[in-house]
Structure 1
């Protein structure tokens, strides 16, 4: 697909998605919201792609919402999604079934923090900074931070930053569990790609099953996830990839090549 505010590149089994509105600090207007939702749907539908990497083009990951353009749409209750798109903040409709790694640098504000929370792994540059500014402006943060940050960081840690609207640095983001690795400035995308390529070498069906079961545990509780475990185990053990892995375990020769079946 052709996009104006999103860059999409394929590197083997990895799709790299760039938020590409640098003259506006990658702030989200309606078109960017919809283009990113389409790019996520493209990532999910492409059987040759196993992992996605999200990053910001230019000096910043994103300054959040472009209130002049998106504010009126939110006030009217308009959808921010393209037809057939996947919600970038994963708070409604279909979710990505493949791992997503976020590579963060510069400013990561408001909806940017919520994009990060919707990813599965986050790498950030040492000088990155974060803030949830909506209450400062009299607004509600509608991209999932009120659910996901308390889960990730604990109630007090989450409220400390959501309610004060203060900015915090990469070290604090790491302490909160918002990011999983802090790297030297300029290395965030390289490190995210290294992780993505490593994940892409694993069996796609097994990775999908792990994501599905872990997310179910978060959303529906441990009991719901436990009920699903036998089905997922049988599914993966009976797959071509599962049998290839078992054969390699029995007779170690070389690493299995997984085909996603």
Structure 2
């Protein structure tokens, strides 16, 4: 494993072909989020956004833990300046950047994904989760509420009744329970989480990067507007993809029974 971008070691980066793996690396704090982690993640994402050799990203945690949430030791500093606190509590634009990132982002969840950790999972496109993982938004037990989009994205993921039960109780669920609820993409054996996430990212990376980006863009539109607006958005993206070089290459490869050579154009 290396840290290709030179960012602080609190987030480690490695490559597996066209897949970039980012690992939150604060094992002494169960990979809790602090200002350094936010800055490092933002820095890596900014670089990966323009790196055409990267077609998908896996977000994981070091030492068998995804992320235990916000670093509680930083709360006093946040209270000292409510405006600074508001910005830092949400990691600036990190959650929105993850959700709207032009390339697919897959969360590989081992161990704990609590508070801000679960909010990271919710902001990713999908997730691979270990059976024994523990997920939840326990902020109300600490006298605060989620600040990284948890109240909004949990409702969209689960619907009001199930989301409210978790949000207001602060209860945790296992990876298996999370999959049953529809909170995560797929549940696997605990020791297979990262490799399964990378395998999914590699399958995605074999597709047209332009088509993948346009499909993600159109799907996200379903969350923000009417069905009519979403269908119009999808139609525009379909027409754009149809005129692309990747579209011609994909069809030619299919007819010739060969693997396509997609360029993202």
Q: Could you state the TM-score of these two structures normalised by the residue count of structure 2?
A: 0.90
CA positional deviation for 1:170 = 1.1
**Is contact 1:123–1:182 with CA below 8 Å preserved after alignment?**
yes
Query: In structure 2, do the counterparts of structure 1 residues 176 and 10 end up closer, same or farther at CA, with 3 Å as the change threshold?
Result: same
Q: How far does the alpha carbon of each residue in 1:37-94 deviate from its partner, in whole angstroms, 9 at most, with x for none?
A: 111222212111110000000131111000222553375322349xxx983322x799
Q: Structure 1: any 5+ residue segments left out of the alignment?
A: none
Which runs of structure 2 are paired with 1:174-193 in the superposition (5 Å)? Answer: 174-193=179-198
Quote the residue 1:21 is aligned against.
26
Quote the residue 1:139 is aligned against.
144
How many equivalent residue pairs?
256
Going by fraction, where is helix more abundant, 1 or 2?
2
Q: How far does the alpha carbon of each residue in 1:86-132 deviate from its partner, in whole angstroms, 9 at most, with x for none?
A: 83322x79931110000001111100111000011100111101121
Q: Which of the numbers 226, 245, 249 marks the counterpart of 1:221?
A: 226
CA positional deviation for 1:229 = 2.6
CA RMSD between the two structures? 2.0
Quote the residue 1:158 is aligned against.
163
Quote the residue 2:95 is aligned against.
89
Quote the residue 1:258 is aligned against.
262
Which runs of structure 2 are paired with 1:1-261 in the superposition (5 Å)? Answer: 1-2=5-6, 3-69=8-74, 72-73=77-78, 75-78=81-84, 79-80=87-88, 87-90=93-96, 95-249=100-254, 251-261=255-265
Q: Could you state the TM-score of these two structures normalised by the residue count of structure 1?
A: 0.92
Q: Structure 2: any 5+ residue segments left out of the alignment?
A: none
Structure 1 segments, 4+ long, off by >3 Å, are none
**Is contact 1:129–1:169 with CA below 8 Å preserved after alignment?**
yes
Moved more, 100-109 or 145-154: 145-154
Q: How far does the alpha carbon of each residue in 1:141-199 deviate from its partner, in whole angstroms, 9 at most, with x for none?
A: 01111111111111110011110011211121101212111111211000001000000
